[in-house]
Amino acid sequence: MIEQILLIVDLEATCWENRQAPNGEAQSNDNMEIIEIGCALATRQGELLDNHSFLVRPIRHPVLSDFCTGLTSITQEMVDTAPTLPEAIEAMNAWLGNLPDGFIWCSWGNYDRLHLEAQSQEHDARPTVLAFPHLNLKRIWRRTTGQKRKNGFAHALAFHNLDFEGHHHRGVDDARNMARVLPYMDWSLEPELLTPPEVPV
């Protein structure tokens, strides 16, 4: 891996149609458990080099809602046979291998970074990426295009006349599609948008 390669991360998590967990709690980042870590390695020019889906078995609410399965296409059988978060993180670390100085990972917005940090801390998982800077692709894209509307990633694809490929809200497909928007980014905006790691690993 070389410095110009970016890792794009997109998470999927447990969710419920009425935004209420089975125990009656309101849906929040505290009870939404990661069920997929979608990863795509790409150049800044948008060339997809590799991708992988790391499924995760939820512990607090192990039964997925029909809404969650419909949204993500992730089934109960898929998560039942998936590893726990620490084991999935170990697999992700092994897939990435030794990361070089200057390595950068990114996501569309800061939600995925914050959720990965919080759940990794809660479960004593240690993603190697958290020791490296993070880029908020949504912020770079908005500054590049001048778009201010608070729309999702699908809006960015449509802005460039690109159709979504795969299943929207499936982490690995979302990550792959984010790679397709990289060529439209103004990378001169990058330095001021680097976010230092906040969680020790």
Query: From the CB of residue 95, how many other CB atoms can be counted at a distance below 10 Å?
Result: 12
56 close to 34: Cβ distance less than 8 angstroms: yes
What is the gyration radius of the CA atoms in the chain, in angstroms?
16
Pick the residue with more confidence: 148 or 84? 84
Distance separating the N- and C-terminal Cα atoms of the chain: 21
pLDDT at site 148: 81
User: Which pLDDT score, from 0 to 100, does residue 191 have?
Assistant: 56
Domains with residue ranges and CATH for the chain: 5-193 (3.30.420.10)
Given pLDDT bands bounded at 50, 70 and 90, which one contains residue 189? confident
Question: What is the rounded distance in angstroms from the CA atom of residue 109 to the CA atom of residue 123?
Answer: 23
Nearest-CA neighbor of 55 among 88, 32, 8, 31?
88
pTM assigned to the model: 0.92
Per the structure block, which two tokens stand in for 192?
């001021």
Phi–psi pair at 165, nearest 5 degrees: -110, 120
| Structure tokens, 99 | 């990361």
Write out pLDDT tens, residues 63-110. Answer: 999 999 999 999 999 999 999 999 999 999 999 999 988 899 999 999
Is the pLDDT assigned to residue 165 strictly greater than 70? yes
Work out the percent of the chain whose per-residue pLDDT is above 70.
Answer: 93
